């Protein structure tokens, strides 16, 4: 049941994940703030409410799977895995360093990571393979995969979409982070893919479209998607690139941008303001 207490709890976790992302990037180091922060609410819902996982047994055979096809947003996944105890908090300070566990894109050496991703377009295919294997083994695991909107220009996405529909894979739920900005500018100016909802529906998927920053809606829609039988489901999340940081919102410069000291302090100030609002 989705009650106000649960929403409040997940809103606080969402804020904590954004704090973690900012601390991982720090000052003077490039980091994918934009596409990580647009996923904060979804990550809070998946990892802290929906998924069956165990930090003490990351490869438990009964676990749910989550693959981040848009692997450049790994920081938000690391933020969640850290809070769940999959690895020590000290690792957050060593992101993308030779002596650290956490690299710029997801790697199988990291507890809780299910696939190496980052070469865009591959995550849906991998997820489909896992979902089919679970079905063959008569296991009840559910598979979740998160794609980017710029990633929709990859042909492999649509091959996997056709295959998932053909094989009636209903233990697979995809998410599309529709934040409308990719590395070098607005997605529609670089490779326009209009009518995303209609396109996915035409490939035989059950399609939902919601705000990606509305926690209640995310929870309720995931429940609806998991109830669909005989075909895969996709949830298109209408999000804001850089959500939560005024200087980064809708700004391609912070797809993989660098914060100076003043910008870093502004980010923390805006997060602190949000914390005060939640504590009221």
Q: What is the pLDDT of residues 162-219, one digit of tens each?
A: 999 999 999 999 999 999 999 999 999 999 999 999 999 999 999 999 999 999 999 9
Asked whether the CA dihedral 242, 246, 250, 256 is positive or negative, the reply is negative
State the chain's mean pLDDT as an integer.
97
pTM of the model: 0.97
Percentage of residues in the chain with pLDDT exceeding 90? 99
Predicted confidence at residue 118, as pLDDT, reads 86
Task: Quote the strand ranges of the chain, DSSP E.
Answer: 65-68, 143-148, 172-178, 181-182, 185-186, 206-211, 233-238
Predicted confidence at residue 152, as pLDDT, reads 97
Cα 153 from chain centroid (whole Å):
18
Residue 257's nearest CA partner among 32, 1, 17 is 32
Whether the CB-CB separation of 242 and 248 falls below 8 Å is answered with yes
* Choice between 1 and 10, residue whose per-residue pLDDT is larger: 10
Residue 140 CB-density burial (10 A; 0-12 exposed, 13-18 middle, 19+ buried)? exposed
Report the C-alpha gap between 203 and 216 in whole angstroms: 28
Asked whether the CA dihedral 46, 49, 50, 51 is positive or negative, the reply is positive
């Amino acid at each position: 049941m989705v009650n106000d207490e649960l929403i409040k709890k997940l809103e606080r976790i969402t804020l904590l994940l954004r704090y973690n992302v900012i601390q991982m990037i720090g000052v003077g180091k490039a980091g994918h703030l934009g596409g990580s922060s647009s996923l904060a609410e979804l990550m809070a819902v998946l990892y802290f409410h929906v998924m069956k996982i165990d930090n003490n047994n990351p490869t438990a055979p009964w676990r749910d799977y989550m693959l981040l096809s848009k692997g450049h947003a790994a920081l938000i996944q690391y933020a969640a895995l850290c809070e769940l105890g999959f690895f020590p908090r000290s690792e957050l300070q060593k992101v993308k360093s030779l002596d650290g566990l956490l690299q710029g894109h997801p790697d199988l050496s990291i507890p809780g990571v299910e696939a190496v991703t980052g070469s865009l377009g591959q995550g849906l295919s991998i997820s489909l393979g896992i979902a089919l294997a679970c079905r063959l083994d008569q296991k009840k695991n559910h598979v979740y995969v998160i794609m980017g909107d710029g990633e929709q220009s990859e042909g492999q996405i649509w091959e996997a979409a056709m295959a998932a529909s053909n094989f009636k894979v209903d233990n697979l739920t995809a998410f599309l982070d529709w934040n409308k900005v990719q590395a070098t500018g607005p997605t529609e100016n670089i490779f326009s893919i209009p009518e995303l909802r209609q396109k996915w529906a035409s490939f035989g998927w059950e399609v939902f479209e919601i705000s990606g920053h509305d926690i209640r809606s995310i929870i309720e829609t995931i429940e609806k998607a998991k109830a669909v039988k005989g075909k895969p489901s996709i949830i298109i999340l209408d999000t804001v690139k850089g959500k939560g940081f005024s200087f980064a919102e809708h700004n391609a410069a912070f797809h993989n941008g660098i914060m100076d000291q003043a910008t870093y302090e502004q980010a923390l100030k805006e997060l602190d303001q949000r914390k005060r609002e939640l504590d009221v």
